[in-house]
């Protein structure tokens, strides 16, 4: 396709097929509309393509509000609080039949036959990505993380792996008393521990090449954007094994040494219970 031509819905659907994503899969999408490029009909066409293609499965976007919901501004309004992670999640959460979860800082929006079950009880989580959260449920379903036009550092799922591995220094020692406000005005108190310290996700890039070679990540294209399709089970098994080898794996931003690369390329996956 010429760079002067706008991508169409049919073209985008064909690209999803080419990536090996099944219409019955469960996928969570991190995205950059800008990187997708010119699309006839704009962002709505992108969402139409994803929603129609995933009609037999589950389509999920993060609708996080962590950038501004905190102890000084504790109320998360499920219906009105905007997402802080891009235009596609913000538009998606407002669509008919889409259900938003109730976690005050790390909500997700889901579309599919069992979307209500998928987002249920998120407000009961005391950490952003722990056991019982939508990210954990995605692993139970052996879903996929689809990074469209964003790099591996945008993969919030890895925060969940670090939580389950009890990596030191990732969560605050004290909780914030946050409040989820449902559309009917019902208020739910949510004591929540936050990700703390520096932005550890900025260090996730260092294992991308290893994971590509091990097959946990596959590369595709959506519009003009490079896409990383991550298998949640293999991603969890491989990264868990790396963290078990070195709990400070993502504490520094230095590249892996050649010895570490070779060790991790051949590391035995750490079996996880799903």
Of all helices (H) and strands (E), which one includes residue 11?
Answer: helix 9-18
Question: 271 in a domain, yes or no?
Answer: no
Average pLDDT of the chain?
Answer: 96
The pTM of the full predicted model, rounded to 2 decimals, is: 0.96
Question: 145 in a domain, yes or no?
Answer: yes
Question: 113 in a domain, yes or no?
Answer: yes
Query: What are the structure tokens assigned to 98, written together?
Result: 């889409």
Reported as a single tens digit per residue, the pLDDT across 116-170 is 999 999 999 999 999 999 999 999 999 999 999 999 999 999 999 999 999 999 9
Question: 193 in a domain, yes or no?
Answer: yes
Reported as a single tens digit per residue, the pLDDT across 5-50 is 899 999 999 999 999 999 999 999 999 999 999 999 999 999 999 9
Number of structural domains (the chain) is 1
Question: 156 in a domain, yes or no?
Answer: yes
Domain, as residue range, for 127:
9-265
Question: 115 in a domain, yes or no?
Answer: yes
Distance, CA of 76 to CA of 107 (rounded, Å): 10
Question: 220 in a domain, yes or no?
Answer: yes
> Where does the pLDDT of residue 262 fall: very low under 50, low under 70, confident under 90, or very high at 90 and above?
very high
E strands, 105-251, in order = 108-112, 144-148, 176-181, 187-192, 217-222, 225-231
Nearest to 150 by CA among 254, 228, 267, 257: 228
């Amino acid at each position: 396709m010429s760079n002067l031509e706008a991508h169409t819905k049919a073209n985008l659907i064909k690209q999803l097929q080419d990536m090996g994503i099944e219409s019955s899969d469960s996928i969570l999408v991190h995205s950059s509309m800008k990187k997708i490029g010119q699309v006839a009909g704009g962002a709505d066409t992108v969402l139409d393509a994803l929603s129609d293609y995933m009609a037999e499965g589950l389509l999920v976007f993060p609708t996080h509000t962590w950038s501004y919901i905190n102890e000084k501004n504790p109320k998360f309004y499920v219906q009105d609080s905007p997402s802080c992670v891009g235009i596609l999640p913000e538009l998606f959460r407002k669509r008919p039949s889409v259900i938003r979860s109730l976690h005050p800082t790390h909500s997700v929006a889901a579309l599919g036959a069992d979307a209500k079950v998928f987002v249920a009880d998120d407000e009961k989580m005391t950490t952003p990505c722990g056991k019982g959260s939508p990210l954990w449920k995605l692993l139970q379903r052996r879903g996929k993380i689809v990074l469209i036009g964003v790099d591996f550092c945008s993969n919030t799922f890895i925060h969940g792996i670090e939580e389950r591995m009890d990596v030191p220094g990732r969560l605050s020692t004290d909780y914030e008393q946050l409040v989820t406000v449902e559309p009917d005005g019902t208020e739910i108190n949510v004591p929540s521990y936050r990700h703390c310290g520096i932005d550890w996700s900025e260090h996730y890039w260092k294992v991308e090449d290893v994971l590509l070679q091990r097959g946990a990540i596959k590369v595709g294209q959506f519009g003009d954007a490079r896409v990383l399709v991550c298998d949640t089970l293999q991603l969890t098994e491989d990264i868990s094994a790396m963290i078990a080898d070195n709990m400070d794996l993502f504490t520094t931003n230095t590249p892996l040494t050649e010895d570490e690369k070779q060790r991790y390329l051949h590391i035995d996956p750490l079996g996880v219970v799903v």
